[in-house]
């Protein structure tokens, strides 16, 4: 890329004279790119919909035991789908943004990535089919319907992430937000419809989880937001320069954030299914700061990346340290609130019980993961893709080791595994970021786009 090409970040459009609409004047004063606001709104809607889905699902099926296969499907879906398909979204967005900056059509790039997506989807689906008997007996407590729903979810999320990549790379961030928000909302809508007809078959709710993302894709497709123009032939090197590292990092990041409920579903006794579901409620509540952070981070990261691109590294460091300070303060408050008010929140929202210790440990683990995620995005922006893959792999490894050696109580084992695994990833990324800054690393257009779309926490 030539030096006079500006980064493909969402840009502000002209808002007219200063005497225009007050909302327009407010947006004009905001110190962040205009296009990031729809992304943040979409993330917030998706996060809030997660809490509603768990509440409505338990009410519809009548008990934690009945809802347990659906919660297992939910966490498995968001461990696998973002892990395998988010890197394709990132690389597609990066490649399209690069062509857009040069005035070139991106249709050949989309075709290349579609082929890659199909290959990855087939590999994952075959793996799930091979593991189907084990998943049915050990994870889904005998439900083939949940295994089928998981396979369909993987097939559905492949085009969803590719649609998001097209929207990001072509600067259509409103459409990107629609795909994000519609996914979460439609899960709740499907659940409410099934509950209204007194449907008790868990397979129907599993299909609601699996098919929900396609609604948002259908909306933006109908609005012609996924259109691309013909352009020069795309080589594999154009769409895969960082795919390997991004794939490893994304799979490990998604596994780590969902590791506790996944592991607990496997190691807990069948008689503990109700408690496993309640633990899932605690995981979702502990993610409240994380969902909010991702929405804010989607707005702030482009501004920090723009400072780094301009060479204003002192301001970049100040801004990033200020962000970490805010995260730390929110984390302290959130962990304390989880300890004091968490049990009341679980009783009020889900008519269930969890201890203050469990909720506080989960909240602290989310704080560590939140700092790790912010730092990993900065490392990606500074072209440290391999370091990010290493950091998330270390986090998952620590989770596994701690979960194995932390005693006999399955709940304490996964709680401590999450806490120490997230902390290990966080410290690895802080060291990596310091190393990249000392080496004089600078972001480029592609690494900025990959960092902006690095959002492994979904639901």
Q: Is the pLDDT of residue 252 over 50?
A: yes
Both 217 and 268 in one domain: the answer is: no
Q: Is position 459 within any domain?
A: yes
Q: How many domains does the chain have?
A: 2
Domain edge (last residue) among 241, 265, 281:
241
**Any residues with CB less than 8 A from the CB of 97 and at least 6 apart, and which?**
8, 168, 169, 170, 171, 445, 446, 449
Q: Alpha carbon of 53 to those of 48, 101, 284, 298, 354: distances in Å?
A: 9, 40, 11, 24, 19
- Cα→Cα distances 218→20, 92, 275, 450, Å: 34, 19, 37, 24
Least confident of 11-15, 259-263, 273-277, 322-326: 11-15
What does the alpha-carbon distance between residue 337 and residue 360 come to, in Å, rounded to a whole number?
8
366 and 346 part of one domain: yes
Judge whether 8 lies within some domain: no
Question: Are 230 and 355 found together in one domain?
Answer: no
Instruction: Note down the domain range covering 283.
Output: 248-459
Map tokens 């659940």 to a residue. 191
Residue whose pair of structure tokens reads 């519809």 in the numeric block: 60
pTM attached to this predicted model: 0.83
- Asked, for residue 10, whether it belongs to a domain, the answer is no
Residue 405 and residue 385 share a domain? yes
Domain identity same for 193 and 312: no
Last residue of a domain, one of 241, 270, 287: 241
Residue written as token pair 């500006």: 6
C-alpha count within 13 angstroms, C-beta hemisphere, residue 319: 19
**Do both 227 and 275 map to the same domain?**
no
Q: Is residue 1 part of a domain?
A: no
Q: Of 201, 218, 241, which one is at a domain's C-terminal end?
A: 241
Q: What is the pLDDT of residue 73?
A: 94
Question: Could you give the 3-state DSSP secondary structure of residue 132?
Answer: helix
Residue 384 lies in a domain: yes
| 172 or 453, greater pLDDT | 172
Residues 325 and 214 grouped into a single domain: no
Whether 21 is covered by a domain: the verdict is no
Q: In terms of domains, do 190 and 145 share one?
A: yes
- Report the range of poorest mean pLDDT among 50-59, 376-385, 386-395, 445-454: 445-454
Q: Are residues 70 and 112 in the same domain?
A: yes
**Secondary structure (DSSP) of 174-190:** HHHHHHHHHHHHHHHHH
Burial of 222 (0-12, 13-18, 19+ CB in 10 A): exposed
Q: Are 234 and 304 in a shared domain?
A: no
Residue 231 lies in a domain: yes
Q: Is the pLDDT confidence value at 7 over 70? A: no
Highest-confidence range of 23-37, 73-87, 367-381, by mean pLDDT? 73-87
**pLDDT digit string, tens, across residues 424-435:** 999 999 999 999
CA distance 96 to 292: 28
Lowest mean pLDDT among 213-222, 223-232, 275-284: 275-284
- Could you tell me if 169 and 287 lie in one domain? no
Same structural domain for residues 49 and 179?
yes
Q: Quick: pLDDT tens for 22-43.
A: 444 433 444 444 455 777 777 7
pLDDT digits (tens, 9 = 90+) for 327-367: 777 778 888 888 898 889 888 888 888 888 899 999 999 98
pLDDT in tens, 288-300: 777 767 666 655 6
Classify residue 365: in a domain, yes or no. Answer: yes
């Amino acid at each position: 890329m030539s030096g006079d090409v500006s980064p493909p970040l969402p840009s502000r459009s002209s808002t007219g004279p200063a005497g225009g609409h007050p909302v327009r004047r407010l947006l004009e004063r905001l110190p962040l790119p205009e296009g990031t606001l729809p992304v943040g709104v979409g993330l917030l809607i998706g996060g809030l919909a997660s809490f509603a889905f768990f509440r409505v699902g338990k009410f519809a099926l009548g008990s934690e035991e009945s809802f347990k296969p659906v919660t297992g499907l939910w966490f498995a879906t968001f461990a696998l789908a973002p892990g395998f398909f988010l890197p394709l979204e990132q690389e597609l967005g990066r490649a399209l943004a690069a062509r857009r900056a040069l005035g070139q059509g991106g249709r050949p790039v989309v075709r290349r990535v579609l082929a890659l997506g199909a290959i990855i989807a087939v590999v994952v689906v075959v793996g799930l089919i091979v593991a189907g008997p084990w998943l049915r007996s050990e994870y889904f407590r005998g439900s083939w319907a949940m295994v089928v729903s998981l396979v369909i979810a993987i097939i559905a999320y492949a085009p969803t992430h590719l649609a998001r990549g097209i929207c990001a790379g072509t600067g259509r961030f409103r459409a990107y937000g629609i795909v994000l928000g519609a996914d979460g909302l439609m899960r709740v809508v499907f659940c409410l419809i099934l509950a209204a007809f007194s449907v008790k078959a868990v397979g129907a709710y599993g299909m609601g989880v699996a098919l929900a993302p396609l609604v948002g894709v259908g909306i933006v497709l109908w609005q012609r937001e996924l259109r691309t123009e013909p352009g020069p032939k795309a080589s594999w090197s154009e769409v895969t320069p960082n795919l390997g590292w991004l794939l490893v990092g994304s799979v490990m990041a998604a596994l780590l954030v969902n590791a506790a409920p996944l592991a607990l579903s496997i190691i807990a006794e069948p008689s503990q299914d109700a408690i496993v579901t309640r633990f899932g409620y605690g995981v979702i509540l502990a993610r409240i700061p994380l969902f909010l952070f991702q929405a804010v981070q989607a707005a702030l990261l482009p501004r920090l990346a723009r400072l780094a691109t301009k060479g204003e590294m002192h301001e970049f460091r100040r801004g990033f340290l200020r962000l970490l300070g805010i995260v730390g303060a929110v984390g302290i408050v959130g962990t304390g609130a989880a300890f004091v008010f968490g049990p009341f929140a679980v009783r009020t929202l889900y008519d269930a019980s969890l201890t203050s210790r469990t909720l506080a440990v989960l909240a602290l683990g989310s704080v560590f993961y939140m700092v790790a995620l912010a730092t990993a995005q900065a490392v990606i922006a500074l072209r440290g893709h391999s370091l990010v893959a290493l950091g998330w792999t270390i986090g998952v490894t620590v989770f596994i080791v701690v979960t194995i050696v932390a005693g006999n109580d399955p709940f304490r084992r996964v709680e401590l595994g999450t806490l120490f695994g997230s902390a290990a990833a966080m410290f690895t990324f802080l060291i990596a970021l310091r190393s990249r800054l000392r080496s004089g690393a600078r972001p480029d257009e592609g690494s900025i786009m990959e960092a902006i779309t690095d959002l492994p926490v979904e639901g």
